[in-house]
Structure 1
Amino acid sequence: MKKILLFGITFILFMLPFVYPGHSVSGETNSESEIDIGITPSEYLFDIENMKPGDWAPREIVVQNNGLKEFKYVTTVQNEGGSKKLFNELLLEIEDGNGEIYNGKLTDFKGISPRTLAPSSDEKLTFTIRFPEELGNDFQGLSSNFLIIFTAEGNNSGTDEETSGGVVGGDDSFSGGGSKLPVTATNMFTYLLIGAALVVAGGIVLLLYRIRRLDNKRV
């Protein structure tokens, strides 16, 4: 029985680096690239369809150095379509652990000053999108799409880039005051993969246990 349990634990530990590639079990980097930037979440930092005047939505993103060398990275925003009228009015705030980095219009954001990350380290940034309180009914139902781009560059050479998407839409009917919107961007697929690996591991352990019991009965 102890051998069966040991096999199950070993299988789970073996699967973790594959279902969650951003980190290894031992704490060492899985990447052999000198410059390798990673971000979490990497798909959509913002996915909001019902913002009203006065609403704001804070989101946290983790920037990781998964490479072998120290790098400096910058962050920029790129309009990807939708309503340019809404994009030009949305407000952006960026904060790190020490306080505010940027506070102004999304369209005016030209990037943050280069930030340094050592290998196997990360830092957390908070991005907040605000729907200006003074916007009127002509912004109802409009939607803006944009990319948040993270570009890393080494001291000598080599670059890497990661992006996270943003979709912000105005509610079809404005009413009442603004409020903080809940976080909707999650690592759903990562959790599903981890859950699937655990189910498979449990099934294997149960199967081996039943085989062991049958062998004992035969004896």
Structure 2
Amino acid sequence: MSLKKKLAMAVVSTTAGAVIMAAGSFAYFTSTATNASNTFSTGTVVLGLAPASTAFNATNMYPGASNLGHLQVQNNGTLPFKYEVQATGITNTHAGNVDTATPISDQLQVAIYDGNLTDVTGVTPLWSTSLNTLASAAIPVPETLAAASNRDFTFKVTLPTTAGNDYQNDSATGSITFIATQVDNPGWAE
């Protein structure tokens, strides 16, 4: 037998052996099961406030006067969230007879209490700061708010007795803004 025939026989034998081995490997018992209809969806972070506008209309304030306002933070989403509060868009108007370099928002003191309160006498506020300070940095609320739940806050705005004639006929306007994010947001400063 020639070398070419021997080589051809070797190739044919090797191929036939490989085919037989491959066919033989499918002789094992097998089974398949499927877990069907899986769903992957995202949740929502939806912050609501009640009332949506004008929690305060404190007019004719004088040194030592206070005014209470109430806001309810609502989690209208499906995920719990953490949140913070800040005064935004503060505008000061000085219409008095005396020119002062300090805006009325530096004088107005804001205290924030837990709950919908009609009297805060003897109650320790969660935070207390000037309106301007509240505008310069958000204050984180230490507790998270579960999905489909609410939390009430009482805001007390006071013009201190130390505010003199320089602040007559002055005013400040602005918004109280709450900002929310999902609980496990690592980029959120607490």
Task: Indicate the TM-score class for this superposition, using the shorter chain for normalisation.
Answer: 0.5 to 0.7
**Number of aligned residues:** 126
Q: Is the 8 A contact 2:144 2:183 kept in 1?
A: no
In structure 2, the residue matched to 1:150 is 178
TM-score by length of 1: 0.53
5+ long unaligned stretches in structure 2: 1-41, 94-101, 116-122, 186-190
Distance 2:183 2:110 in 1: 30
Q: Which structure has the greater CA radius of gyration?
A: 2
Shift of the alpha carbon at 1:95?
1.0
**1:73, distance to aligned residue in structure 2 (A):** 1.0
Alignment correspondent of 2:106 = 88
How far apart are residue 111 of structure 1 and its match?
Answer: 2.7
Unmatched runs of 5 consecutive residues or more in structure 1: 1-31, 158-219
Superposed CA RMSD: 2.1
Residues 1:33 and 1:148: Cα distance change in structure 2 (over 3 Å): farther
The equivalent position to 1:133 in structure 2, one of 135, 143, 161, is: 161
Q: Which has the higher strand share?
A: 1
Deviation at 1:70, TM superposition (A): 0.9
Residues 79, 147 of structure 1: 8 Å contact kept: yes
Aligned-partner SS, 1:116: coil
Residues 140 and 101 (structure 1), Cα distance of their counterparts in 2 relative to 1, 3 Å cut: same
Per the alignment, residue 198 of structure 1 pairs with none
Moved over 3 A (4+): none
Give the aligned residue type for 2:73: V
Question: More helix per residue: 1 or 2?
Answer: 1
Matched, 1:107 2:132: yes
| TM-score normalised over the length of structure 2 | 0.60
Deviation of 1:82 after TM superposition, in Å, equals: 2.4
1:67 aligns with 2:77: yes
Q: Which whole-Å CA distance do the structure 1 matches of 2:160 and 2:184 have between them?
A: 43
CA distance in 2, matches of 1:33, 1:51: 45
SS of residue matched to 1:94: strand
Match of 1:54 in 2: 64
Q: Equivalents in 1 of 2:72, 2:183: separation in Å?
A: 22
In the TM superposition, residue 46 of structure 1 has moved relative to its aligned partner by 1.1
**Secondary structure of the residue that 1:51 maps to in structure 2?**
coil
Matches within 5 A, 1:171-210: none
What percentage of residue pairs aligned between the two structures are identical?
29
Q: Is the 8 A contact 1:79 1:87 kept in 2?
A: no
Amino acid in structure 2 at the alignment position of 1:41? P
